[in-house]
Structure 1
Amino acid sequence: MSSKDTIIKIDDSRNGRESQKTEINILCLNLTPYSQLTQFLCCCIFVFICYLAYGFYLELIFSDPEVKPVSLYITLVQFIITMALSYVESLIRNPIKRKVPLKIYALLAALTLGTMSLSNLALSYLNYPTQLIFKSCKLIPVMIGSIIILGKRYGFLDYVAAVVMCIGLTMFTLADSMTSPNFDIVGVIVISLALLCDAIIGNVQEKAMKQFQASNNEVVFYSYAIGCVYLVVITGSTGILTKGYVYCSEVGSPLTMYVNIFLLSLSGYLGLQAVLTLVRISGATVAVTVTTMRKALSIIISFVLFSKPFVFQYVWSGMLVALAIYLNHYSKRNPGYVPGIVLACLHYTQSFYQSEYRYLRMKSKIYSDTV
């Protein structure tokens, strides 16, 4: 659910930290009177329950091969529910006041639509664990997008993390291609396009929110509202709107289908709020550790609840991806850090080439004097 993940932007200023100390909540649940440990445990419980539920309903809905032609219709319903939840939150907290120009929201809505619809569609071609591993590897396109769009520079560990992540991702994909009868290379292309949208949307959101001081809820509401307009036009003009309605009416119980989509949207939205609060009270590194553990548990539950072949290569490749995520966030806490052994190797290499250069110059001088 990376479109929502990328919306999370935390104010690290002194005033922001003071306001977070005075009010810690997850939607209507006020955690301020409780200790920091209690707040942390509550957030962890919310993260695990909500995102485990989200993964379950996502695989339950989109793993059916027959949903492939109408996946955009289900994404439309998901957009409408998320927009409604965002509006309800604004009624509970503060009214939404638009600060970002509509043309920027039009771009954000298109990118949000791209990342969510492509991520959902990818489940028709790939196992959920593989899709989740790919979504965990958005560091790679985000780094590329940040360098191109924002002109950012990254440290040594960031590039090491990207390389390790590529290796883990390749190993996981190869394991899936060897064991899954439903594996399709089209799924890899689709999820890669979703990650590309992720890379762009994260950087555009960061730039817009810093420039216009927009709230999280404002960005969520307008991105999904305009995305709904796009989806209505696309599904209406292509006939997917009618086909999707017929599909949801005929597959099992229509009420069950729409309840599943509602629970999918609700669990994802509540999980977003839990992660946001967790970052505020414990920091980004702790939050990433918790969400990484959640993703690992989601993969385990997926293998247990939805029958699929398993090989131990899944474990090794998943551990490599987790290591890359840790290296990336360690680099954020220690920018410019380079391991001592790497510095020693660089120093040795530099000294070696300098000595070789001096030796060659001396030899050349002796030769010229002899001649």
Structure 2
Amino acid sequence: MVKEVHDEGYAVVARSDVEAAQAEASSRSAHQPKQARNQTAFFMALAIGSIASALGFSTLQEKVFNIPGFTYGGWMTFITYLTYSACGLAESTVTRSFKRNASLRDYALISILAMAGAYFTNWALNYLNYTTRIVFKSCRVIPVMAFRSLVVGQRYSALQYGAGALLVVGISLFTAGDAEGAPNFSGVGVALIAVALLCDALTANLEERQFFRIRTPASHAEVMTYLSLFAALESFLVLLATGELQAALAHSSLHRETVPTICAFSVLGYVTVCLVLLLIKHFGATSAEVVKSMRKVCQVILSFLVFPKPMSWKYVAGGALVAVALYALQRTGKKPVGADAKEKDREGRKLGGGGGNAAVPPAGAGTGTGAGTGDHHAGGGAVGSG
């Protein structure tokens, strides 16, 4: 037995208890470095996995557009959405989460915007280099900022507006470089990608409000499944209306690698969304944004390496301005401490949840393609053009 001194006098403690406490403290200190190493390894696995899957997505998608005679963006949109819905259904089956929280009406209406974003993006690639498409889609933040001001009344600082203007200059320079070197460049492509960005921005804001800022938020698997099913149906109707279906089927019969390649990059796009959502869940949105920014840089570099294009100083200068502007927007876009809590409280009162206890995630927490998909499968939020 040993004695421990307290204010009241002496207390008798079993030696085994003291030794057990010391052993537990020693075990905790020994486990902390190991836990930190495990967290680092987990982060690296998620980051490398999301970058690798996104690079696979963009490389395979660009490969499809390099197949001789492929100009069937609507056909690609249709197959992509079918694949997304299959992936979402498979995930729901594995996790046994079949409950639908959002309304079918909202899925049907928002899917029109998501499908339009994907359709116009793929159509634009008949007139633009793939790298220009990546840069344009990376700058979705501009219309998103504009629509957030209109839809949710968000206010931005002068520095953020300045970064947005710099972003426009960077995009213009990069597009000018494309106009010099791309044999099929056309202003039609710029107009189409601009329309796609507007559709994506609306999709992102409406997805956040209708799917993730409700009392019981929808899972990303639910959103991917239902939104993709509606979008696939809508894109199929567009194929019939435009007469593209018959020509696309004939082309895919002649070039049999087309459909499997589209399915393959669509699966990779879905995987990318899941990994980015895990990054946000375990390491925060800032870490996820850093990984997504690295991914975009890698996608542009890989595109130039795998599918060589005429180099121009405008590509370099425009890309640098875009990178600086996006970094500035990311830094200035951080909320002050407690902002998320106040926002949750406001949303909770709106929903009648009695304050911050309502099941409402912070902005962007559940938006897969805000999460996501950034620039691949998911247009504005969980599903879209990428």
TM-score interval (norm. to shorter): 0.7 to 0.9
CA distance in 2, matches of 1:228, 1:137: 26
Is 2:59 the partner of 1:51?
no
**CA deviation after TM superposition for structure 1 residue 272, in Å:** 0.8
**CA deviation after TM superposition for structure 1 residue 195, in Å:** 0.3
**CA deviation after TM superposition for structure 1 residue 156, in Å:** 2.9
Distance 1:301 1:277, change over 3 A: same
**For residue 284 of structure 2, what is the amino acid of its counterpart?**
G
Is the Cα contact below 8 Å between 2:80 and 2:262 reproduced in 1?
A: yes
Identity %: 33
Q: Runs of 5+ in structure 2 lacking a partner?
A: 1-34, 338-386
RMSD: 1.9
**CA deviation after TM superposition for structure 1 residue 312, in Å:** 2.5
SS at 1:134 equivalent: helix
State the Cα deviation string for residues 85-121 of structure 1 (Å, max 9, x = none).
Answer: 1100001113232222222111211111011111122
TM-score for both structures, normalised by structure 1: 0.77
Q: Given the alignment, which residue of 78, 81, 98 partners 2:80?
A: 78
Q: Which has the higher contact order (CA 8 A, sep 6+)?
A: 1
Is the Cα contact below 8 Å between 1:155 and 1:335 reproduced in 2?
A: no
Is 2:230 the partner of 1:230?
no
The equivalent residue for 2:222 is 218
Q: Which has the higher helix share?
A: 1
**For residue 199 of structure 1, what is the amino acid of its counterpart?**
A
The equivalent residue for 1:326 is 327
CA distance in 2, matches of 1:97, 1:156: 44
The equivalent residue for 1:161 is 163
State the Cα deviation string for residues 323-353 of structure 1 (Å, max 9, x = none).
Answer: 11111121222559xxxxxxxxxxxxxxxxx
Is 2:304 the partner of 1:300?
no
State the Cα deviation string for residues 165-204 of structure 1 (Å, max 9, x = none).
Answer: 1111111111111222221111101110110001100110
CA distance in 2, matches of 1:34, 1:262: 36
Q: Given the alignment, which residue of 121, 124, 131 partners 1:122?
A: 124
TM-score for both structures, normalised by structure 2: 0.74
1:267-346 matched pairs, under 5 angstroms: 267-334=268-335
Distance 1:303 1:214, change over 3 A: same
State the Cα deviation string for residues 229-252 of structure 1 (Å, max 9, x = none).
Answer: 11222223433222211110012x
Is the Cα contact below 8 Å between 1:63 and 1:123 reproduced in 2?
A: no
CA distance in 2, matches of 1:308, 1:99: 46
Distance 1:156 1:334, change over 3 A: farther
**For residue 275 of structure 1, what is the amino acid of its counterpart?**
V
Name the count of aligned residue pairs: 301
The equivalent residue for 2:45 is 42
The equivalent residue for 1:258 is 259
State the Cα deviation string for residues 259-284 of structure 1 (Å, max 9, x = none).
Answer: 21111101111111111111222222
Q: Given the alignment, which residue of 177, 180, 186 partners 2:179?
A: 177
CA distance in 2, matches of 1:157, 1:290: 24
The equivalent residue for 2:190 is 188
Is the Cα contact below 8 Å between 1:48 and 1:294 reproduced in 2?
A: yes
SS at 1:211 equivalent: coil
The equivalent residue for 1:152 is 154
